Amino acid sequence: MRIAAMACALWLGAAAAFAQDAPAPSRFETCLPLLREKAGDVRAKMDLMVPVFGKRSHLWTREDYAKVADLARYCDGVQARDGRSVDARDWQDMLAGAAAHLQRLNELAAQVEGFAKTLRPEQITLPPCQALVDYSQSEDGGEDSSAEVFGRSFLAMSDHDLDVSVRYVNQCLVFLPKFSFNVKSWGEGDTKAHVNRIIDAALLVLKRRQDWAQWERKDTDIVVMHDGGVVPPTMTIPLTRELIVRYNKAAALKRRFTPETISVLMRNAEEILEQYGNASTVTIFDKLYAEEVKRRVQEDIFRRH
């Protein structure tokens, strides 16, 4: 029987065949992968499209399914010390069901991966589409998990990478409705709304950068960082924007702030900070700018003494 030799190369790209002069593995050793995993657990992983035996399920071929089925037949009845044994029928039923259930999903995933290869990201990593279901953001939109999903936050991405991420996420819509229904029980409308939140978050950064580019900017202007990138002041609410503009005008004079300027800046900054956490419109971006204005004004005050 060629099963033992087949098993050496079975794990779908993860293991190479034994060298000719290496001792042949025992039947127990050959069957260890099936003893370590229950057929039902493997099926759950395949539905989630996480790596199974070194290969994500949408990349499995008919030959891959056949190899695992053959190994299950070869290992039928082999038992581990804890009493767990390989049941060939369980494995074969699971594999047949997975192949039928995942066929269309796998085709869609392959289609998206083909599209991803046409993109040219600069500093981000395009994740498997299924990773997008774990994207999250705060209700006010000030915080999100884009850094975890793409390797860089939207704020830290170049304009090019923001465009790439939008195009890729949009393409994932051909795959995600079926996947998220299987895994999250989301309806198609829920999935589209989720994907649109991701796209809107990226597009908002692009739009606010464009708005900021229209400002008359000076090297004395105040800017803050968040999630590894510069926060355009145009990401803030009107009250904070007014504070930023007022500070920039005062700083551009390159002289100490007048008592009146100090009073106004500090009062407006405190007003924003008091609202943070209580008003849904005041985001982390407003807080960061208000804190930075306060810090710089206080430094100016101390320089007077």
- Closest C-alpha to 257, from 198, 210, 205, 299: 299
Residue 279 and residue 272: Cα distance in Å, rounded? 10
pTM, entire model = 0.76
Residue 21 and residue 181: Cα distance in Å, rounded? 50
Q: CA neighbours within 13 Å on the CB side: how many for 167?
A: 14
Confidence (pLDDT) at 23: 58
Question: How does pLDDT run across 51-96, given as a tens digit for each residue?
Answer: 888 887 877 888 999 999 999 999 999 998 888 899 999 999 999 9
Structure tokens of 158? Answer: 């170049």
Residue type, 249: K
Residue 101 and residue 261: Cα distance in Å, rounded? 67
Residues 6 or more apart whose CB falls under 8 angstroms from that of 153 comprise: 144, 146, 147, 226, 227, 228, 229
Taking residue 286's Cβ as centre, other Cβ atoms within 10 Å add up to 27
- Closest C-alpha to 179, from 112, 95, 106: 106
Residue type, 194: H
Confidence (pLDDT) at 14: 39
Confidence (pLDDT) at 101: 81
Burial of 124 (0-12, 13-18, 19+ CB in 10 A): buried
Residues 6 or more apart whose CB falls under 8 angstroms from that of 155 comprise: 205, 226, 227, 228, 229, 230, 231
- Which residues of the chain register pLDDT less than 50? 1-10, 13-22
Residue 246 and residue 265: Cα distance in Å, rounded? 8
Confidence (pLDDT) at 48: 81
- Closest C-alpha to 71, from 25, 19, 2, 20: 2
Residue 223 and residue 251: Cα distance in Å, rounded? 12
Instruction: Work out whether the CA dihedral 198, 278, 298, 266 comes out positive or negative.
Output: positive
Give the domain ranges of the chain.
3-105, 119-213, 224-302
Burial of 168 (0-12, 13-18, 19+ CB in 10 A): buried
- Closest C-alpha to 237, from 183, 273, 201, 185: 273
